[in-house]
Copies of this chain bind each other. A is one copy, B any other.
Amino acid sequence: MKKELSIVSPELPEGFVAAGTACGVKKSGHPDLALLYSETEAAVAAAFTSNRVAAAPVRLSRQVAGTGRCRAVIANSGCANAATGERGEGDARRMAEATARLLGIDPGLVAVASTGRIGTYLPIDRIEAGIEDLAGLIRSGGNSAAAEAIMTTDTRPKETAREFAVGGRTARIWGIAKGAGMIYPRMRVAGEPHATMFCFLLTDLGAEPGLLRSALSAALERSFNRITVDGDTSTNDTVILLANGASGVRAEPGSEGEAAFRENLSRISRELAWMIVADGEGAGKFVSIEVGGAKTAGDARRAAAAVANSLLFKCALYGGTPNWGRLLAALGYSGAEIAEDRISVSLGDLEVVRAGLILDPAPERAGEELRGKRIDLRVDLGLGEGRDVYYTCDISPEYVEINRG
């Protein structure tokens, strides 16, 4: 059996259709309503924000995901339907019900997602009318329209797909994501997987919900749960994975199909997570911060997250100036065990901190590296085997201007 791993041009997996339209939630008239639909039964796994002020659609979709079965996702941009109380819950239900009517399925099989401003009510009549309009738009080529309709401050749609062969059959995973600000996914320690991103994944592979949840949980810990734009964890972020089995490939526990699925799900999740960071509000640089040599894995995560969230360090990244003191300060307050004289830091291949000392000859070459679009930082704490990576971007004056309103 040959296992092919390749990034393909984004197309929906077998048995899925999609649509996107503008229904008037956004005053700009830009697309703001997306539908994803599996023509046959599908298993579901999902992850939701750990924010205790969770939006109405998050609470509804969490219930749907709990059943293990889901056939449709209806999503709007332009309004988050968060901090909207009982009326917001009713509106989320009405979105699910209108979608169920359109598709002739049980409302309990429809997940709902909303993104946009917190604390305003959905224009639910316009959304219901929009859902009716989707009837004429649903098709296997509707993927890109759906990707566009979930955008908020994103400057471009985020869509990707992969396919892989198992036992002579080919399965596909396709995904879209959105997000540019209020991005700092954080996972709960216990319970079902919680993430804080907005991402929809469809696959024509067949799998039980339990296996999907386990694979999604692992994928999140290398992707959406390791990115930050601004350190603000959203009330609405949602990851939904539907698997309808239409490819004939099945991922049984322990099978080659499972291994191939897990690998491709991780890759596609990371790819979409990276797209979000690269499109961070006002950002011009993609930055990876790898911390190794930590006393524990938790310490590595804390240290990488502190650097990735340091406003001062990210301002220096924007300026393209080497300011390793700010990076060291962030490591120092991260809560991770630190021995200052064991810290080393590399920028790409260039060593910039050795034994806790900032190297003198580096600043000019480092400045050159830092003015690039892609910055790879590696920190070695010199204390153990713990390792983790966060992905982030710079913070520019434009970020502040985008968010002043």
Contact = CB atoms under 8 A, between A and B. Distances in A.
A355 interface: yes
Contacts of A321: 404-405
Interface stretch (A47-55, A143-151, A242-250): A47-55
Interface string A286-320: 00000000000000000000000111110110111
A397 B400 CA distance: 6
Interface stretch (A80-88, A91-99, A204-212, A252-260): A80-88
A114 to B, nearest CB: 12
A26 interface: no
A325 interface: yes
A349 interface: no
A273 interface: no
Contacts of A326: 118, 182, 232
A206 to B, nearest CB: 36
A356 interface: yes
Contact of A329 (B51, B312, B353): B51
A331 interface: yes
Contacts of A318: 400, 404
- For this chain, the copies found in one complex come to 2
A316 B404 contact: yes
A386 interface: no
A333 B52 CA distance: 6
B357 A84 contact: yes
A235 B334 CA distance: 12
Contacts of A331: 52-53
A340 interface: yes
A325 B340 CA distance: 40
A319 B316 CA distance: 23
A396 interface: yes
A311 B324 CA distance: 22
Contacts of A313: 232
B397 A338 contact: no
A310 B82 CA distance: 18
A325 B117 contact: yes
5 contacts: A53-B356, A119-B328, A182-B312, A230-B312, A319-B404
* Closest 5 pairs (CB-CB, A-B): A118-B325, A319-B404, A53-B332, A397-B397, A119-B358
